Structure 1
Amino acid sequence: MGLDRVAAVKERLAIQYDCPLIVVGGTNGKGSTCAMLESILLQAGYKVGLYSKPHFLDFNERARINGENVKDQVFVDVFAEVEAKREDISLTYFEFTTLAIAKLLADAKLDVVILEVGLGGRLDAVNVFDADVAIVTSVDIDHVDYLGDTREAIGFEKAGIFRTGRTAICGDPVPPKSLLEHAEKIGADLWLFGKDFNYSGDKQQWNFGGRSQRRNSLGYPSLRGANQLLNASAVLAALEALKDRLPVGAQEVRSGLVMVDLPGRFQVMPGRPTVVLDVAHNPHAAATLGQNLDNMGFHAYTYAVFGSMLDKDIEGIVAQLKDKIDHWCVTDLPLLRAATAEQLQDKLLEAGVVRDADHSIQNFKSPELAYTYALSQAAENDRIVVFGSFLTVAGVMRARKPQIH
């Protein structure tokens, strides 16, 4: 663990940004925050580069320029460049791809670049780059083997993306003390939700208030979910901090929020039965998913397609959702560190999930098979919720692909 190898190859590649750089970290909400930033800045007419992860179906999803996935040949060329420059330095898959995408974005002559942190912050490969604005969306328990098992330990890791004298935004309403202390220690310009920026609103519209800027009569983001206004507020705080370098008008903010699109984040698919795709894979995200399911209105039965990594807090995830699901379709995933369907079934039974006329647990070898079964059982007024891992959602996306295209 460390950034020395990545920093050395970065120097050899001469990666340098001549435009504002926004880095986004946090336990949950990173993808939504990056997508809103990209959408608003594109509406404002800027040339925007985005590095996000992981991908669902195609690796190309990880790098976007002006809203379009980067083409295969561009990747092939930059991979060759990184491979040549690294020489005797070993790089992980994530370090290699981060350097490659950072290089291609730096060479693309963009107006603004957005980089999403993969895991933690302090030791993440993205952290070899100095952000003009760093956003920490939320701090909660996840990746405990690497980041620690308390919000204080994790908060310190997340705060590692902050820089001296530069804007550091925290969208978590209750930030850990460790994050506050680190920001103060290094002299970052810390913006806190509830102190430096906030939101208010009713069922029709919402308003943002920052340090020196107000945005009124905004439409709700097209991304569904209980936490999206927190994410959107952090986005508007970042744009306020950059307003002298990247001015953005009121209509561009409105259009960007309405047009933002992000797969797998409380994504409700068209048709019947209702199908919800959500990458929730920790208790914090599962609680938000549960809240969103409660807000959907009546469905006679809810089927779950659930697959998870074994190192996740599966008990915590299940605790948030067990009272909202009638029929569990648990699945193996194509990764060695994934929990098996049998292990997930055991966790459900330990949590008190019952099997009777109206409740069941079924085991499957893949998300595709689990989804196909749920679809065969669900009536028109039922719903199917797919969650637990990016791999779970990706499997169901593949199963649905003929319907999508």
Structure 2
Amino acid sequence: MATGTPLTLNQWLERIEACHPSDIELGLDRVRAVAARLELDFSRSKVVTIAGTNGKGSTQTFLDYMLREAGYSTACYSSPHFLRYNERVRINGAEASDEVLCDAFVAVEAARGKIPLTYFEYGTLAALRIFSQQAPDMVLLEVGLGGRLDAVNIVDPQVAVVTTVALDHTDWLGDTRELIGREKAGIFRAETPAVCGDPEPPATVAEVAQELGARLYQVGDSFAFHEKQQEQSQSWDWQGRNQQGESVELSDLPVPGLPLPNAATALQVLHLLLDTPSRSCIEAALRNAVMTGRMQRLMLGDTECILDVAHNPQAAQYIAGRLAKSPPAGRLHVLLGMLNDKDVQGVLKALQPVVQCWHFVSLGGPRGQSAAALALRMAELDPQAQCLTYSDVAEALAAVRQQVAVGDRVLIAGSFFTVSEALAQLELQA
């Protein structure tokens, strides 16, 4: 790399995006080689690695809030980002600065020599170097794709988590839940706790745990939760295991804004990381945990707007269930943009029972699905469905603003790209 004026963060991102011909190249040999040259050291931190089709981000968020409430320093790595690359690397809840990220990219560039790295691998190594240097108490790593061959899997965790296993990224991970489950369980380690939050996991998750000698904590077996509906309030109970294998019970916990199953999974992880987690810290975290693009509530003028990146049937079913419990007084409008390698029909079918008006948007790029194609798929499900199409998210938002009435609600979903474009537009209009 030529010396001279230091590169800005945007210049670094352009550089690493162009330095490898493939967006995805599974395998750990190249990443391990560069990591060895960087001399990464996580001996001063406890590491939690989180894989899964859905729920990785909210599980990480719950843990981050719980641990910080308990007084521990934390570092989080996640992807993709919505508005700024800095969102991917967070220390104690704050995004890493441009300067810190650029310094890490300089180090990775120097260490890699002639070893080619993908954009994700480059970013992962930069995040790991930052965490290695800063040595927080807890490092929470979200898997980008799969698990076994994902770049974050070069770090040995103290607890490994598989949130859910569903059909997604089948070109890379396999076309059955059994194959995908085996890939995601590849983050497990011998004699190390492995937590699974999928209530009906494929058998391969337990098989890999047994093969590797990991101690599996399975929802419905090692831990469980139950939501309670009372006259004027909701609460839930949780039961799980502590580090000694003893039963722990927590009753009448506050219901969080993010998915409850992931809160239950996070609680089991927490009890494997800490000796005696404080109930007050847990309650505060449950009440306060929020994250961008997951059941995120904003206002579109005078209308409530929910943003969620749901892009597969499992995630769409969860949102539909949440919305069905508290339907709007008026109509539910859905602004939906999806990629062409996703299960469009499955997402539409999951949302169909709660939607009154569909607003389909075209997404750009080679993987983007056109609004017309989405509308055609909806017409196959319901020829009478009210469907409108738009060239992009900005056009759709402007139109939806004019069409909503008092009591209506808007859901924006289908892809990270859809939600990030909507957030950018809403930020401009704020």
User: Are positions 1:82 and 2:113 aligned together?
Assistant: no
Work out the CA distance in 2 between the residues paired with 1:84 and 1:335.
32
2:50 equivalent to 1:15: no
Of the candidates 263, 270, 274, which is equivalent to residue 239 of structure 1?
270
User: What corresponds to 2:254 in structure 1?
Assistant: 219
Offset of residue 374 of structure 1: 1.0
Summarize deviations over 1:92-131 as a string: whole Å, max 9, x none: 1011101101110111121110000111111111111111
Q: 2:404, 2:75 → 1: CA distance?
A: 41
Distance 1:321 1:297 in 2: 13
Could you say what the CA RMSD is over the residues aligned between the two structures, in angstroms? 1.5
Match of residue 171, structure 2, among 128, 135, 145:
145
The corresponding residue for 1:229 is: 260
> How many percent identity over aligned positions?
40
Q: Contact conserved, 1:63 with 1:101, CA < 8 A, in 2?
A: yes
TM-score (norm 1): 0.94
Residue identity in the other structure for 1:346: L
Candidates 293, 296, 307, aligned match of 1:267: 296
State the alpha-carbon separation in 1 of the partners of residues 388 and 327 from structure 2.
Answer: 26
Q: Could you tell me how far apart the structure 2 residues matched to 1:353 and 1:257 are?
A: 42
Classify the secondary structure of the residue corresponding to 1:56: coil
Q: Secondary structure at the match of 1:2?
A: coil
Aligned residue in 1 for 2:22: none
Aligned to 1:202, what secondary structure does the other structure show? Answer: strand
Mean CA deviation greater in 255-264 or 211-220: 211-220
Q: How does 1:56-67 map to 2 (within 5 A)?
A: 56-67=82-93
**Conserved? CA contact 1:368–1:398, under 8 Å:** no
Distance 1:297 1:159 in 2: 37
- Describe the SS at the equivalent of 1:330: strand
Give the secondary-structure state (helix, strand or coil) at the position aligned to 2:389.
strand
> In structure 1, what is the Cα distance between the partners aligned to 2:197 and 2:306?
26
What are the equivalent positions in structure 2 for 1:4-403 lying under 5 Å apart?
A: 4-17=29-42, 18-203=44-229, 204-211=234-241, 212=246, 213-223=248-258, 228-244=259-275, 247-270=276-299, 272-354=302-384, 359=386, 361-402=387-428
Q: CA deviation at 1:151?
A: 1.0
Name the CA distance, whole Å, in 2 between partners of 1:298 and 1:222.
Answer: 17
Shift of residue 188, structure 1, vs aligned partner: 0.2
Structure 1 residues 35 and 353: alpha-carbon distance in aligned structure 2, compared to 1, 3 A threshold? farther
In the TM superposition, what whole-angstrom CA distance separates every residue of 1:329-360 from its partner, at most 9, and x where no partner exists?
211223321112222122222222425xxx2x
What is the letter of the counterpart of residue 49 of structure 1?
A
1:281–1:308 CA contact under 8 A, matched in 2: yes
Contact in 1 for aligned 2:174/2:180 (Cα 8 Å): yes
Q: Deviations over 1:257-312 (max 9, x none)?
A: 11111121122224632211111100101111111121122432222111111000
SS in structure 2 at match of 1:248: coil
TM-score by length of 2: 0.89
Contact conserved, 1:207 with 1:216, CA < 8 A, in 2? yes
For the 8 Å contact 1:272–1:381, the answer to whether it is kept is no
SS of 2:320 mapped into structure 1: helix
Tell whether the 8 Å contact from 1:322 to 1:353 is kept in structure 2 after alignment. no
5+ residue gaps, structure 2, are 1-25
Q: Which amino acid aligns with 2:292?
A: P
How has the CA–CA distance of structure 1 residues 306 and 201 changed in structure 2, closer, same or farther, with 3 Å as cutoff? closer
Tell me the distance in 2 between the aligned counterparts of 1:217 and 1:315.
38
Range with bigger deviation, 324-333 or 304-313: 324-333
Cα distance per residue 1:208-230 (max 9 Å; x no partner): 2112222233212232xxxx222
Task: Identify which range, 340-349 or 251-260, moves more after superposition.
Answer: 340-349
The amino acid of 1:331's aligned partner reads V
Q: Distance in 2 between matches of 1:321 and 1:218?
A: 29
Do the aligned residues in 1 keep the contact of 2:290 with 2:296 (CA within 8 Å)? no
Q: Which amino acid aligns with 1:249?
A: S
Alpha-carbon separation, structure 2, partners of 1:129 and 1:38: 19
Shift of residue 395 of structure 1? 1.1
Look up the SS of the partner of 2:36 in the other structure: helix
CA distance in 2, matches of 1:45, 1:220: 22
State the distance in 2 between where 1:206 and 1:324 align: 25
